């Protein structure tokens, strides 16, 4: 049994396989998932696990050079947006429309579905390198 980090075997494997500039989506339970996507569905029920919990665990394990967030999160879910920025810390953030965000999910190496029910609780993390 692992002592630290992500215990979910599929998510741990995906994080280990991420290379520089690969994209990882963390999303709420309502975001459409492309049919061909590598989806790791962590959702148990509405609200469990929470988007912010999943984001924090992933950031503890993954080198991230930037994040992409839909503009709609700022407008519709401002509290979630502020908490997301706090968790991201110094990681640069780019913005796009929700439609552009959904289009970008087709390019992701993986999509991690949370149980979050707060609107627009979605983020794309672009993998960096630690050297």
For the annotated binding site for substrate, the residues are: 28, 98, 120-122
User: Per-residue DSSP letters for 50-94?
Assistant: -HHHHHHHHHHHS-EEEEEEEHHHHHH-HHHHHHHHHHHTT--EE
Backbone angles phi, psi at 127, to 5 degrees: -70, 140
Catalytic residue among 5, 9, 13, 20: 20
> In this structure, are residues 67 and 96 in contact, taking their beta carbons and an 8 Å threshold?
no
User: Per-residue DSSP letters for 6-42?
Assistant: ---HHHHHHHHH--TT-EEEEE-TTSPPPTTS-EEE-
Q: Does the annotation count 20 as an active-site position?
A: yes
| Binding site as annotated, residues | 28, 98, 120-122
Residues with active-site annotation: 20
């Amino acid at each position: 049994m692992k002592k630290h980090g992500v215990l979910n075997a599929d998510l741990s494997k995906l994080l280990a396989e991420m290379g520089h500039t690969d994209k990882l989506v963390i999303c709420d339970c309502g975001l459409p998932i492309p049919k061909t996507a590598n989806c790791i569905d962590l959702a148990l029920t509405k609200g469990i696990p929470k988007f912010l919990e999943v984001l924090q665990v992933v950031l503890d394990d993954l080198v991230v050079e930037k994040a992409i967030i839909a503009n709609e999160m700022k407008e519709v879910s401002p509290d979630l947006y502020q908490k997301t920025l706090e968790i991201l810390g110094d990681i640069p953030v780019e913005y796009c429309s929700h439609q552009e965000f959904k289009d970008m999910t087709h390019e992701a190496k993986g999509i991690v579905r949370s149980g979050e029910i707060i609107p627009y609780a979605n983020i794309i993390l672009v993998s960096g390198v630690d050297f």
